[in-house]
Amino acid sequence: MKLLTCLVALGMQMASASCALAESVVGDITFERKSKGADEFAPAVFPHWVHRVKYKCYACHNKQVNFAMKADTAAITMDLIDQGKFCGTCHKGKPAFGVSFETCIKCHRK
């Protein structure tokens, strides 16, 4: 019974996690997949507006996180994210969701 409730909770969370906006918003950045190409796996989309709701520009556009003000200048790889660079500064479980097989589709979507 306990296990069942846990699974139900997990299922609900996954269902709510995948309800991202269908239309694109001004400022959304679709990262070009330079390492493996876009056919194999959907490229990551960065929704600027989601981040602007919680953070000011300079929370990420600074020397520590090292996002320049120009798009496509940061060479982001999943390895670097795992090391806590770029997106991995926040996306490590806290304050934002971490990288796992459940959360691939949150960024890598078409």
Interaction between residue 77 and other proteins (CB under 8 A): no
- Among positive and negative, which fits the CA dihedral 101, 42, 56, 20? negative
Q: Which is nearer to other proteins, 33 or 51 (CB)?
A: 51
Among 1, 39, 40, 70, binds other proteins (CB under 8 A): 70
Interaction between residue 52 and other proteins (CB under 8 A): yes
Q: Which is nearer to other proteins, 6 or 38 (CB)?
A: 6
- 9, 96 in Cβ contact below 8 A? no
Shortest distance in whole angstroms from residue 106 CB to other proteins: 10
CA 79 to each of CA 6, 8, 21: distance values in angstroms, whole numbers, following the listed order: 31, 32, 27
Beta bridge mates, 91: 96
Interaction between residue 24 and other proteins (CB under 8 A): no
